[in-house]
Chains A and B, each alone.
Chain A
Amino acid sequence: EAQVTQNPRYLITVTGKKLTVTCSQNMNHEYMSWYRQDPGLGLRQIYYSMNVEVTDKGDVPEGYKVSRKEKRNFPLILESPSPNQTSLYFCASSSTMNTEAFFGQGTRLTVV
């Protein structure tokens, strides 16, 4: 089954404690991205990757890092989380030839 898998689904952490949210896709897609969803703001792109070792900032990259060492994986790293990063995060993937994006189930992060 074609899917994008994120882990964990729910995470509560404290300010400043480094965390990683994993994302994996099994569709051999070149393009992967991270979004955060906040009430009244819709989804905003954090970072994206057009292929292995190629990443770039989206619209709201501050406080986040990503890496793309393998085509299937695109982890999101928060090195020093702050309460304003409390949000619902989605990973998405797509083929560059077909702009339909497939989304993971989401990770609800709370930073206290």
Chain B
Amino acid sequence: AQSVTQLGSHVSVSEGALVLLRCNYSSSVPPYLFWYVQYPNQGLQLLLKYTSAATLVKGINGFEAEFKKSETSFHLTKPSAHMSDAAEYFCAVSDHNTGTASKLTFGTGTRLQVTL
């Protein structure tokens, strides 16, 4: 069974500082990995995804993530935080070899706070 662990349910950074949100996964087969963002009172929006192509994935709003198989990690980073980045972020994994390729298993989420 696949699983996702997000370390830190709350992360606070200053505006302009580096954003680092951690995600580790467990999967018996090569995974597809995703980061979603949820703004208040909204649904989830895809930030970026890894589907076994380049290990460094660039997404929207200046975010990127690096797939590291040896560390089973897919951490999300952004060089300089903006106030508008304040939201909840979810890491998710899907097992594309089981026939239920679109079943996503989510982490518990990390709430990002950006301060002045």
Contact = CB atoms under 8 A, between A and B. Distances in A.
Interface residues of B, number: 27
Contact of B94 (A4, A35, A90, A99): A99
Given A92-B104, A99-B94, A106-B42, 10 more contacts: A33-B103, A43-B44, A45-B105, A48-B102, A56-B100, A99-B49, A99-B102, A101-B46, A103-B36, A105-B43
B108 A101 contact: no
A78 interface: no
A45 B104 CA distance: 8
A73 to B, nearest CB: 17
7 contacts: A42-B106, A43-B92, A58-B103, A90-B44, A92-B44, A94-B102, A96-B101
- How many residues of A sit at the interface, in one of the four size bands? 20 to 34
A12 interface: no
Contact of A99 (B32, B44, B45, B107): B32
Interface of A: 4, 31, 33, 35, 40-45, 48, 50, 56, 58, 90, 92, 94-96, 99-101, 103-106
